[in-house]
Amino acid sequence: MRRAVVAGVVGLALVGVAGSAAALWPEPAPAATALSLSGDLHTHDPALVAGAPGEPWYVFSTGDVREGLGAPQIRRSTDDGLTWELVGTVWDAATRPEWVYEAVPGVSNFWAPEVIEHDGTFYLYYAASTFGSNASVIGLTTNTTLDPDDPDYAWVDQGEVVASEPGETNFNAIDPGVVEDADGTPWMAFGSFWGGIQLVELTWPSGKPVEGASPVTIASRTSPPNAIEAPYLVRHGGWYFLFVSRDACCQGTDSTYNIAVGRSREIAGPYVDRSGSEMTLDGGEQLLTSTGDMVGPGGQSVSRGYLAFHYYDAAAGGDFRLEIRRLAWDDEGWPVATTRAEQDG
């Protein structure tokens, strides 16, 4: 419900002239703007790369075993993120990273990619795992262009970034999200269930952890099954914002996925919500949850101020699809992902 309607009515009664009273109505709460998407939106765990005006946009997403041996999928838009087409997968049978299949027996498709550009190179991180296990790895492949039509287009395998093993590590090496701090140092957040969300310092140009770096926990749930994952870090307005997905994914219209956020002045935290509760102790500001036919939003990324995520469409039998919204920011510096219709509904 839009706030402060009563105050506006009182203002109208006091002034008595509609034109003058309009100035007394408070500004409406900030709201996100949802893009009107069309085309191929069958996307899970989208990593958005929003182009500058007039340049292509890309979405990289979790793979499908029926396409490119489960490699991360690539979609492109040439109209500022409105219309999407599938343009291929990151690898095929001839170019797949064979080491991953040895590192994670039983892996069939690759999850939750992340793409970041540094010094003319695009770094694509991806997760290899199986459901219910923390026998997982985050791998890396690089390219000098995202345009599959460019003659220089070629993904080059860079091997393992982080691994987790049952009984040896208390985290799960999936769902990478990379950000550069104010000094240009790259950091990777990752994790799912188990020990929660981890953070590790990387180094350029390798894109891998600095020598001797150990992951530290920056967010967790306080009760089993520690249902928090899909971290994504954003630097905005002197703060670092940690976006996470919580609760149950991948269950169609039974999914309870939702997006929460916390912030910190320092890249390593502590990340807190609006009330000051730390995200290592189940804190987190609710950003987006199920509304109408949009069930279980999550698996998010942020690019050039746009939030991309997937949800399960109740009007389509629970099939998953892509959503992109331009974030708004409130007067306390917190992101807003709800649209005006959702706020008024």
Task: In whole angstroms, give the CA distance from residue 182 to residue 42.
Answer: 35
Task: In whole angstroms, give the CA distance from residue 47 to residue 303.
Answer: 9
| Catalytic residue list contains 165 | no
| Catalytic residue list contains 45 | yes
Task: List C-alpha distances in Å: 244 to 85, 146, 249, 263, 285.
Answer: 27, 26, 12, 11, 10
Render 173-184 in DSSP notation, one character per residue: ----EEEE-TTS
From 45, 114, 278, 313, active-site residue: 45
Render 294-319 in DSSP notation, one character per residue: EEEEEEEEEETTEEEEEEEEGGGTTE
Task: Say how many C-beta atoms besides its own lie within 10 A of residue 84's C-beta.
Answer: 23
From 114, 201, 229, 323, active-site residue: 229
Find all residues with CB under 8 Å of 190, minimum gap 6, and list them. Answer: 127, 138, 162, 171, 173, 174, 175, 176, 177, 197, 198, 200, 215, 231
Give the active site residues: 45, 229
